[in-house]
Amino acid sequence: MTNQSEVKTINWGIIGLGNIANKFASDLLTIPNTKLYAVASRSQEKADLFADKYDATHAYNSYEALVKDKNIDAVYIATPHALHKENTLLCLEHGIAVLCEKPFAMDANEVSSMIAKAKEKNVLLMEALWTYFLPHYQFVLKELKNETYGKLLKMEADFGFHRDFDTSSRLFNKSLGGGSLLDIGIYPIFAALSTLGLPKDMQADATFFENGADSTCSMTFTYPNGETAKLKSTLLEPTPTEAVFYCEHATIKINTMFHMPTTVTVIANGEEKTLDFGYKTIGYNYEAIHFNELIRAGKTESDVMTFEFSEKLINALDTVRKLIKLEY
């Protein structure tokens, strides 16, 4: 058994100090041999406040200053979608491993350039799609892969909440990748790709806000053997936000807020059994622990959130965008 004192402490940096960065930093504090070493914002005051809150050693008022700090092992990028490529390339150029918040970037071309740079520099890069690493989601993936209840015939996933339209909010800012698809539609699409794979046919339609950002997106994926995925994202109304998998002999339902720590209900032979996974954190620690392990092992790509999967995901998002005629 490895002595904890012999395990390398991973020094993290965070670029972009909004809501999701706060959640990530909070969970980082729960991981052994892990330190929030530096944070960066365009505002020194914001960086100082964030550093004080999460006991970070350094607070920088520019991303450029942070990446020059030789003591940083990994950077978590939590800036708006439209900045992911630029911020990722900056870190990779300085040889720093990058965990970049989803969506990886705005389109497949940007993702390709990020992956190419990671390979050129031989530096670890991974898309931070935290759901993939959550125990309840890994449980469902295993049950489906093992065909515990027979083959998966169809699945449905949705993600919806209501927000008043506000042009000053990043969520509605089209130039930053705002709208339902990239922000929350990515989760239902992820659920389909991670369980059924790439579809042979995709259909989609959408509604839009007055500034052209999509307010709702409904999608149907059809697969070679007749399986289907019905997916939806919306910023107009709350929805169950569940992922439901219909197998030959049972239905597996990831309960509300399926993308984050939650419970799973298995309905078989007229009986329902709900599994609780005993979560004690927000849930971002699981992807961070995986990333730490990759760094310690000298890996340059995740075996869970692979480059190939990230490329499939962004290509699916690009296809949906074309179908609904959405341009950023």
pTM higher than 0.95 for the full model?
Answer: yes
| Model pLDDT, residue 57 | 97
Judge contact between 238 and 160, C-beta under 8 A.
yes
Mean pLDDT score, 91-108 = 98
| Model pLDDT, residue 169 | 94
Sheet holding 251-254, edge to edge: 201-208, 214-222, 228-234, 152-160, 243-247, 251-254, 264-268, 271-275
- For residue 103, cis peptide bond before it (omega within 30 degrees of 0): yes
Q: Which residues contact 17 (CB under 8 A, 6 or more apart)?
A: 39, 40, 41, 46, 47, 50, 78
Judge contact between 158 and 242, C-beta under 8 A.
yes
| Model pLDDT, residue 2 | 53
Determine the residue type at 276.
Answer: D
Q: Which phi-psi region, left, alpha or beta, contains residue 298 (left: φ > 0; alpha: ψ -120 to 50)?
A: left
Structure confidence by residue, pLDDT tens digits, 189-234: 999 999 999 999 999 999 999 999 999 999 999 999 999 999 999 9
The domains located in the chain, with CATH, are 4-128+284-299 (3.40.50.720), 132-283 (3.30.360.10)
Structure confidence by residue, pLDDT tens digits, 241-282: 999 999 999 999 999 999 999 999 999 999 999 999 999 999
| Model pLDDT, residue 257 | 98
3: pLDDT strictly greater than 90: no
| Model pLDDT, residue 5 | 63
Q: How many CB atoms lie within 10 A of CB 249?
A: 11
| Model pLDDT, residue 6 | 83
SS3 readout for 128-164: ECHHHHCHHHHHHHHHHHCCECECEEEEEEEEECECC
DSSP 236: B
Structure confidence by residue, pLDDT tens digits, 23-74: 999 999 999 999 999 999 999 999 999 999 999 999 999 999 999 999 999 9
